[in-house]
Structure 1
Amino acid sequence: MKPARSLLAALALLAAFIAAATQAATPSPKDSQVYYQIFFRSFHDSNGDRIGDLKGLTSKLGYIRQLGATTILLTPLQPSPYYHNYFATEFKAIDPAYGTMDDYFAFVRAAHAQGLKVYLDQEFQYVAEGHPWWRDAQCNPGSKYADYLIWKDAKHCEAEPFLNKAKWEGYDGRNVGIAMVNLSNPKVRQYFQDLLLYWADPHGDASGRDGIDGIRIDHMMDDLDHKGLQKHLFADFWHPIFQALKARRPNLGILAEQADWGFGTAWLTDGHADAVFAFPMRGALVSLDKRQIVNTIHATDKATPAGKVQVIFLENHDLDRYMSEVHDDPARARAGAAIALMLKGDPLIYYGQELGMRGMQPKNVGTSGGMPLTDAIGIPVREAFRWKAHLDAPGSATWYRRNATFWDARFSRSNDGVSLQEEENCPDSLYRWYARLLAIRHARPEIGSGDQRVLCDDDSAMLCLLREQGGQKTLVLVNLGKTAARPSLGTSLPSGTAWTDLLDDDKPGTTDAVLEPLQVRILGSR
C-alpha cells in the first residue's frame, strides 16, 4: 500500500524542518520545542544485556529527529540502587550499565549534530544508602559531610528519610535507605551549582560545547516534603543556582516538575523556572470532555505568566499510558494527540506514545492482600520501546524480565501491532498520525508560538481552537461528541479567509463541514 499524498507532503515539510533546525543556532528556552522524554533503561540496548544504554540511544537519534522532536529529555543517568536512577549514590558519574562518561559526551555531540537539544533530569534532594556523604557521616558528627544530610538524632545515626519511610526496595531486591539532603547548607548549594555548571558547560568556557541545553528539576518544592525542615528553597536554594546557570549559559532552559502537580504558577514566578508541566491539562485530555478541556485551557492561560511555558503532555514515566487511559480506542488516542500537539505550550511525547504502547500501574498498591509499595510498580508504564515486532529482537531493552510479576503481566507482546516495524510503513498507523501532526506543527509557526483562542465556547461537543500569528491562522476542530456534528463558529472568524485542509493534501477546506465522532480537522489559512 502506498502512503497517501497528504502523508508524503507532511513528511516533506518535516524533512525541510530537520534540515533547517540542524543548521540553526542554539535557541532560547522560550523558542517552541517538542520534547521527547525517554525512560533511559528501556529505550535501546546496544550490547545485548537488555538494558538501554548511551550507545543505543545515540544510534537512534535519527529516529527521534525524523519523528519531529526537537529536544530529548532523559531520566537520570547517575548510579543508583534503583532501576529508575533517581536517588543517586554518586552525582558526577554515569551508571556503568549505561556506559562511560566518554559515551555520554559522544551522545551529546551527536544529538547536537542532529539539531537536537538535550535536557537532563536532575534529582538531588535525596541520596541513597551508599552515597559517600551518608557513608562518611553515619554516626560520625565530626565528618566533613556531617551537615550535608539532615539527621534525626544528635549522633547522626538516623538520617531524615524520604517520605517518612526508612527503606525502599532497590533494583536487586534489597531494602535501601533514602535520606534527605540538607539543601540549606551553603556548601551543598555550591556543590550542586558546580555540578549543574559542569553538565551545562563542561569545558568551563561558557561555550556550551558538549553541554546540555536544559535541566528538569524533579520534585521541586519550596518546603521539601512539607516537613518544615527546609523552607524557602525557591529563594535560598534554587534561584541562586538558576542565576549562576543563566549567567554562564543564558539560553539554558529550566523545566520544573511542580511537586503538587497543579498549574505551577509559583514555580514560574517565585521559583524562576522557564517551564512547568501542564498536569491539569493532562487530566482534561484523558477525559476528552469538551467543557473540561475548555475550562482547563482558560485556567492554564490565567495561571501562566507572560514569557513562561506549560509543557503539554499525555504521558510520562509516572502516569498510565494514554492508550490504556482511553481504553485502547485508536480514535480517542488520535483525537487526544491532535489536541495536545496543537495547544499553546510545548508538547512532550513519552517514548512509545507515538506507537500506542499500553501500560497501567497497579491500583491496589499498599492495600490488604494487594501489591506492596515498591518502585517496581512503575514498570508497566516503563516497558521497552518497541523497535521490532518481536519483543526479544536485538536492541529490545527488556531489563525487567528478571521480575516475574511484571514480566508475566507485561502489556507489550510480540506481534501485537504496536511496534515501529509494524507501523512505520502503514499510512493509517498511530505513528504516522504523530509524524503528520508534528510536520504540520513545524510548518505552521502560529502553532508553536502564536496566540490561542477557544471558539465554539458553547454547550456543544465540538472543540474549536484558533492559533494565529502575524495574519496566519490554523483552526483545529475536534468532534468530542457521540454523534456527527457541524461546528458553530458564527462570526468568530473573519470573513473572506481562504482555508486549506492540512490533513487532506492541502485541498480547499471549509469551516462548516460535518465531523464524525472523534474526527479531527485541521485547517490553515492560505
Structure 2
Amino acid sequence: MKKNTLHNFLLFTTLSLASACSSTENLATQQAQVSEWPRGVTYEIFVQSFCDSDGDSIGDIKGMTARLDYLQDLGVGAVWLMPISPSPSYHKYDVVDYYGVHPDYGTKEDFQEFVRQAHQRDIKVVIDLVLNHSGVDHPWFQSAKSDPNSPYRDYYVWAHKDDPETQTEGKILAGDSDNVNRWHEVKGNDYRYYGYFYGGMPDLNFDNPKLREEVFTIGRHWLTEMGVDGFRLDAARHIFPDDRPEDNHQWWVDFKTEMQKVKPDVYLVGEVWADAETVGPYTKGLHALFNFDMGYAITNAVQQERADSLVIKHKNIRDYYRSINPDFIDATFLTNHDQNRIMSELNGDINKARMAAALLFTLPGAPYIYYGEEIGMKGKKPDELIREPFIWEEASKDGCRTKWVQAKHSTEQAVVPAAAQAADENSLLNHYKTLIRFRNNSKALTYGEVEPLQLQNPAIAAFTRRHEEEDVLVLHNLSGTAVNMPLPENLKTYTTTAFQSNEASFRKGAVQLPAYSTLILRK
C-alpha cells in the first residue's frame, strides 16, 4: 500500500468496523462510566502485531491510532504498549535508545499524536519501560565493554573472570526467565558482565548514582515531552541482584517519588512474577502489580470446572496486600505476552473462554486484556507465536493485518475476525463488551471488596461485592452441567437480576444456572 493511500485506508477500515458494530445493541450505547482509571480496564498492545498502516507488514503507531475507536467501543480506559523504542529485536525489550521511537513504528510526532487522540477518547497511555537492562547494542554498553575507563563502564555490573561469583549458576526464581548463566564474556577481555536474562541484555548498575539520575531523566522525558500517563515496569524484581530485595523495594519508592514531582498522578504498574508474599513489599513503591497467582488460579478453575477456593484465595491475597498498602491496585489478567494465550490454555473452548472473562471482570481488581483475547486469538510458545497478528477482517479486506510472522495458531480458520464478531451479538467480542460495560457502570464491581460464599457445589463460584449503595451477588457456573438451586436464606434479599448470560435466571427464590453461565443479582 502506498503512503498516499493511507488516509483512504484508515477511513475505510474504521468505517467498515463501525458499520458492523452499529448493528448490535452492545455498541450502540455510549457508556456512562462510574469506574475511573486506573481501576478501569486496560488493553495490552504489541504494536508490531496490531495494525499496519503503510503496507510494510509491520504494525505501527498510525495504524494503532486508527483503531482507537475500536478500543473506545470495547470500553477500555487505558492501553499498555509493549516497548516502542529502537531495538534490534522484534520484541524490542533490548533497548538501544531510551528516548526514541523505533522507526518501524513511526516517529515521535506520530506517537505524540497517538497520545493526543487517545486522551480525546478518555483513554490513558502506559508504555513499557525496560530498566533492568539495556540492549547489548546500546551506545552505553558498547562504550563500557571497549574501554575500562569509559564514563559508562559503571552503568553495568562487572566481575573478573576468576571471581568465584562468575563460576556459579543463578537460581530460576519464577516464570520470567529460565536462564541460569548470568555472567557473560566479552571477547578478549578478562572481565565479564552480569545479565539476568541473557547476554544480549546486560543489567544496568543501579548502585551508580549517575545511572539512577539518567533513569529519572528518561522517565521525565516520556511523562512531560511525550505525554504518557505512566509506565509498565518490566522485570521490576530484578533491579538489584536476587539477594537484595530490600534495595529493589526502596528503588521503586525513589522512582515513584521522582516521577510524581513532574506528574503527581503518574501510574506505575510493576511486573514481579512471583507469589503474593514476594510481591507484597513492592506495593510500597508501585501503584499496581500484576497478580500472576490469580491469572493461574482463574485458568485452572475454568479448565477443571471447579471453583473450589478460587474466590477465597483472591480475597486472601488482597487482604495481604492491603495490610502493606491500603491503596494498592490489583492488576488482574488471564494471560499476557509471555504466556500461552488463554484460548489455547482452554483448548479452544469458547464457553470456557467466556467464563474466564466473566470471572476476570467480576472479581476484584483492575483487569488487563491481552490484545486479541477478546476475539479468541490462540497462541502457544515460542514467544513469536503468542504475539501473532490481530485479525481485523477477512484476509481479502484486511489491509490492516500485519505480516511480520506467519500465523500458526491465530489463523482465519481458527479465529473469527473482529468485524464479523462485532456484527454477531452472540460473539466472544460482544461478550467482552457487555461484561466491560456492566463493570464500568458498577461501583460494586469496580471498587467493592469480595466476600466468598460456599454453596455446596464445587462448580459454582459465588461471592458478593459491595460499595456504597450497591450490593451484588455474583454466581458463575463453571461446569458444562446446568445447576438449579434455591438461594440460601441469608441471600434471599438479592432479588433483582442485574446481569445474565446463557439464559441464567432467578425465579421464586431459586436460581437457574445453565452450563457456563453467569447471573448477577442486586438487592
Give the equivalent residue in structure 2 for 1:365: none
1:399-438 alignment, distance < 5 Å: 399-401=404-406, 407=407, 410-438=408-436
Q: Deviations over 1:372-420 (max 9, x none)?
A: xxxxx2011100011112288311112114xxxxx5xx11223544210
Change (3 A) 1:106 1:292: same
Q: Secondary structure at the match of 1:136?
A: helix
Give the equivalent residue in structure 1 for 2:274: 260
Quote how far apart the aligned CAs of 1:490 are. Answer: 1.6
Establish whether residue 180 from structure 1 lines up as the match of residue 180 from structure 2.
Answer: no
1:80-479 alignment, distance < 5 Å: 80-153=87-160, 158-163=191-196, 165-166=198-199, 177-202=200-225, 211-221=227-237, 224=240, 226=242, 228=243, 232-260=246-274, 262=276, 265-270=279-284, 272-287=285-300, 288=302, 289-305=306-322, 306-361=326-381, 377-390=382-395, 393-401=398-406, 407=407, 410-456=408-454, 458-479=456-477
Q: Secondary structure at the match of 1:84?
A: coil
What is the letter of the counterpart of residue 313 of structure 2? T
Q: Deviations over 1:236-257 (max 9, x none)?
A: 5322121011232221111011
TM-score by length of structure 1 reads 0.83
Quote how far apart the aligned CAs of 1:225 are. Answer: 5.0
Quote how far apart the aligned CAs of 1:161 are. Answer: 3.8
Question: Which stretch shifts more, 333-342 or 240-249?
Answer: 240-249
Measure, in 2, the Cα distance between the counterparts of 1:223 and 1:450.
33
Q: Secondary structure at the match of 2:156?
A: coil
Is the 2:307–2:461 contact (alpha carbons within 8 Å) kept by the matching residues of 1?
yes
Quote how far apart the aligned CAs of 1:349 are. Answer: 0.7
Establish whether residue 493 from structure 1 lines up as the match of residue 491 from structure 2.
Answer: yes
Is the 2:23–2:423 contact (alpha carbons within 8 Å) kept by the matching residues of 1?
no
What is the letter of the counterpart of residue 255 of structure 1? V
Quote how far apart the aligned CAs of 1:485 are. Answer: 1.7
Is the 2:375–2:428 contact (alpha carbons within 8 Å) kept by the matching residues of 1?
yes
Give the equivalent residue in structure 2 for 1:74: 81
Q: Deviations over 1:288-346 (max 9, x none)?
A: 23014134223322322121121111121011111111111111111111011111110
Quote how far apart the aligned CAs of 1:512 are. Answer: 2.0
Change (3 A) 1:165 1:57: closer
Quote how far apart the aligned CAs of 1:158 are. Answer: 4.3
Quote how far apart the aligned CAs of 1:11 are. Answer: 3.9
Change (3 A) 1:508 1:430: closer
Measure, in 2, the Cα distance between the counterparts of 1:164 and 1:340.
30
Is the 1:6–1:506 contact (alpha carbons within 8 Å) kept by the matching residues of 2?
no
Q: Secondary structure at the match of 2:216?
A: helix
Measure, in 2, the Cα distance between the counterparts of 1:500 and 1:457.
19
Measure, in 2, the Cα distance between the counterparts of 1:421 and 1:28.
27
Q: Which runs of 5+ in 1 are unaligned?
A: 22-26, 167-176, 203-209, 362-376, 402-406
Quote how far apart the aligned CAs of 1:233 are. Answer: 3.1
1:31-50 alignment, distance < 5 Å: 32-50=39-57
Question: Which stretch shifts more, 189-198 or 464-473?
Answer: 464-473
How many residues are treated as equivalent by the alignment? 471
Change (3 A) 1:387 1:381: same
Is the 2:252–2:282 contact (alpha carbons within 8 Å) kept by the matching residues of 1?
no
Is the 2:295–2:333 contact (alpha carbons within 8 Å) kept by the matching residues of 1?
yes
Q: Which runs of 5+ in 2 are unaligned?
A: 1-19, 162-187
Measure, in 2, the Cα distance between the counterparts of 1:413 and 1:429.
17
Q: Secondary structure at the match of 2:110?
A: helix
Q: Secondary structure at the match of 1:476?
A: strand
Give the equivalent residue in structure 2 for 1:518: 516
Give the equivalent residue in structure 2 for 1:373: none
Measure, in 2, the Cα distance between the counterparts of 1:504 and 1:219.
38
Measure, in 2, the Cα distance between the counterparts of 1:218 and 1:515.
41
Change (3 A) 1:255 1:457: farther
Q: Secondary structure at the match of 1:454?
A: strand
RMSD between superposed Cα atoms in Å: 2.9
Change (3 A) 1:452 1:219: same
Quote how far apart the aligned CAs of 1:475 are. Answer: 2.2
What is the letter of the counterpart of residue 314 of structure 2? I
Measure, in 2, the Cα distance between the counterparts of 1:165 and 1:323.
30
Measure, in 1, the Cα distance between the counterparts of 2:95 and 2:31.
41
Measure, in 1, the Cα distance between the counterparts of 2:114 and 2:23.
34
Change (3 A) 1:156 1:105: farther
What is the letter of the counterpart of residue 228 of structure 2? I
Change (3 A) 1:455 1:500: same
Quote how far apart the aligned CAs of 1:82 are. Answer: 1.5
Q: Secondary structure at the match of 1:141?
A: coil
Is the 1:77–1:98 contact (alpha carbons within 8 Å) kept by the matching residues of 2?
yes
Q: Secondary structure at the match of 2:158?
A: coil
Q: Secondary structure at the match of 1:254?
A: strand
Is the 1:137–1:156 contact (alpha carbons within 8 Å) kept by the matching residues of 2?
no
Measure, in 2, the Cα distance between the counterparts of 1:286 and 1:352.
17
Measure, in 1, the Cα distance between the counterparts of 2:250 and 2:454.
46
Q: Secondary structure at the match of 1:481?
A: coil
Change (3 A) 1:457 1:268: farther
What is the letter of the counterpart of residue 304 of structure 1? Y
TM-score by length of structure 2 reads 0.83
